[in-house]
Copies of this chain bind each other. A is one copy, B any other.
Amino acid sequence: MSDAALSLSDSLVDRALRRVTGLWRDMADRVGGRDEAEDIAGQMQACLAARGGEVSARARAAKLAAAYRGFSEAERVNFLRVLAGFDADPKAVERAIAEWTQAADAPAKAAAKVRLRRALESPRVRLLTQFTAIPDGMKLLVDLRADLLRAVETDPLLEALEADLKTLLTSWFDLGFLELRRIDWNSPAALLEKLIRYEAVHRIESWDDLKNRLDSDRRCYAFFHPRMPEEPLIFVEIALMKGLAGSVQALLDPKAEVMDPNQADTAIFYSINNCQRGLDGIAFGNFLIKRVVEVLGQEFRGLKQFATLSPVPGFCRWLNAREEAGDAALLTPEELTAIRSAAGVPAETSPGAALQLLLSRKEWPPALAKVLEPVLVRLCARFVAVEAGRNPKRAADPVAHFHLSNGARVERINWRADTSAKGMRESAGLMVNYLYDPAFIEDNHEAYAGEGKRAMASAVRKLVKG
């Protein structure tokens, strides 16, 4: 926040306040006490004017924060609208634009630009910044952005406030400020409880399930922010193994033998979870994987490869779309014949219909599974390694896009890798290993980010070419 914002004139605040008073009144009526609401509005204004000095302003910010935490969703939206009203002064912006337009030479242009930037700074940024000094203030700001992201869908006037807050959070949550911490069975129970809550890829069923995931041949790492020390931002779960993992159920089996992690040659990243909705669009996953690759490589000299075991959430949806679009080339004639005969569907059934029929079944008899496996593996390889979305340089599958843009390559498609109800429904039980090879990460990233070229193992290349 610049000096300009710090010496914010009271008149500007007053004007902003008049603009929002109406909204606030409404809210006040509903919360049943206009007095208290006006008091809060006054507090907000006083914060912005830093009345009584910056220290007092911070104390007021703490009161506003406490009020906000107690609000209902509707009241929060009103609070955010009031806050959004403390925007840059349009007259000042116009003056600065005029100055810029008239600037004759480079130095004048440069000076005008500095003033234009300053004129565009919103006073509300000051209040948001004041929240950081409150205990739990950073968490409040993150939660406030989560509220904003919901509210902005129906109220576009909140977009600028959301953009301001995102700019602040992007600056504060820069990689330089994050701490990588290992999480294990010696971590605080309150933190482990949050893992149970935040794990969305493969649900943690119980404390025993969690303990199994933190055993000596497992690792879990998370990023934390020093001002939110008890809240993980993102975490990744890893299994140390021999060779690539091909089944998440085998990997999570509590009865599976624990291996000596020093014997492992492969680290499998099998679950990555963002924990804070309010940090959407501020990317950590990329950094987390690479930092953890580094840390694990130092601890276990025997590790030779780092790979994921990832879901393919869009696979079945894409198959359906292809079928509905009547994609005749989806199956080769030989595949179609084999499926028809193994599944006993009439010869006249269209390829799409045949496939759809089969995917809707709960169980496949062994003979049918044997016929389906190569077909679905091939289609999945195509989906992940070839298929693009609206942007022709971007993988259709979001998980594939994430790992490819991080510089990983498509290493292997795994059959019957996730036999949970969700796994069968979304991806016919298939999962993908993405390989992070430190020697190629940069080139892979460049090729994908530049030309949309996707890296893949030769076996995968054969699948999509054959």
Enumerate chain A interface residues (CB-CB to B < 8 A).
1-3, 51-56, 58, 87-88, 90, 93, 97, 100-101, 106-107, 109-111, 113-114, 116-118, 120, 129-134, 137-138, 156-157, 159-160, 163, 166-168, 170-172, 174-177, 185-193, 207, 211, 226-227, 230, 281, 283, 286-287, 290, 405-407, 441-443, 445-446, 449
CA–CA, A376 to B283, complex, Å?
63
The interface residues of chain B lying within 8 Å CB-to-CB of A193 are: 185, 211
Q: Are A107 and B187 in contact (CB under 8 A)?
A: no
Determine the distance from Cα of A231 to Cα of B166 in the docked complex, in whole angstroms.
29
- Indicate if the CB atoms of A53 and B406 lie closer than 8 Å: yes
Residue ID in chain B nearest A192 by CB atoms:
B189
A-B contact pairs, 28 of them (CB 8 A): A1-B167, A2-B163, A2-B167, A52-B441, A53-B446, A54-B287, A55-B286, A55-B287, A56-B445, A93-B113, A107-B157, A110-B160, A111-B156, A114-B159, A116-B120, A117-B120, A129-B176, A132-B174, A132-B175, A132-B176, A132-B177, A133-B175, A137-B176, A172-B172, A186-B189, A187-B188, A189-B207, A193-B211
Q: Which residues of the other chain, B, contact A51 by a CB distance below 8 angstroms?
A: 446
Contacts of A177 in B (CB 8 A): 132, 226-227
Query: How often does this chain occur in the complex, in copies?
Result: 4
For the complex, give the distance between the alpha carbons of A443 and B56 in Å.
11
CB-CB nearest 9 A-B residue pairs: A132-B176, A52-B442, A133-B176, A53-B445, A186-B188, A189-B189, A133-B175, A185-B190, A55-B290
Q: How far is the CA of A207 from the CA of B286 in the complex (A)?
A: 34
* B-side contacts of A120, CB under 8 Å: 113, 116-117, 120
Give the CA-CA distance A403 to B48 in the complex, in Å.
Answer: 22
Residue of B with least CB distance to A206: B207
Q: A52-B407, A93-B113 are in contact. List 7 more A-B contacts (CB 8 A).
A: A52-B441, A53-B286, A116-B120, A117-B163, A132-B176, A134-B176, A171-B172
B107, A156: Cβ atoms under 8 Å?
yes
Given the known inter-chain contacts A53-B286, A188-B187, A189-B189, please indicate yes or no for A113 contacting B160, CB distance below 8 A: yes
CA distance A120 to B192 in the complex (A): 43
Measured between C-beta atoms, what is the minimum distance from A98 to chain B in Å? 10
Complex contacts, A3 vs chain B, CB 8 Å: 281
Contact of A189 among B138, B168, B185, B407 (CB under 8 A): B185
CB-CB under 8 A from A189, the residues of chain B are 185-189, 192, 207, 211
Contacts of A443 in B (CB 8 A): 52
Question: Is the pair B176, A54 in contact by a Cβ cutoff of 8 Å?
Answer: no
Q: Which residues of B contact A106 (CB under 8 A)?
A: 157
Residues on the B chain within 8 Å of A100, using CB: 93, 97
Separation in Å of the A263 CB from the closest CB of chain B?
A: 20
Asked if residues A185 and B188 are in contact (CB atoms below 8 Å), the reply is yes
Nearest-neighbour CB distance to chain B for A191, whole angstroms, equals 8
Give the most central of A107, A159, A188, A446: most B CB within 10 Å. Answer: A188
Given A110-B157, A113-B88, A157-B106, decide whether A133 and B174 contact each other with a Cβ distance below 8 A: yes
Closest to A157 in B: B110
Q: What separation, in Å, do the CA atoms of A283 and B188 have in the docked complex?
A: 29
When distances are taken between beta carbons in the complex, the residues of chain B under 8 Å from A131 are 176
Given A88-B113, A110-B157, A157-B106, residue A442 in contact with residue B56 (CB < 8 A): yes
Q: Are B170 and A2 in contact (CB under 8 A)?
A: yes
Q: How far is the CA of A281 from the CA of B3 in the complex (A)?
A: 8
Say which residue of B97, B157, B174, B230 sits within 8 Å of A129 (CB atoms).
B174
Q: Tell me, in angstroms, the Cα distance from A405 to B163 when the chains sit together.
A: 33
Asked if B2 and A166 sit within 8 Å, CB to CB, the answer is yes
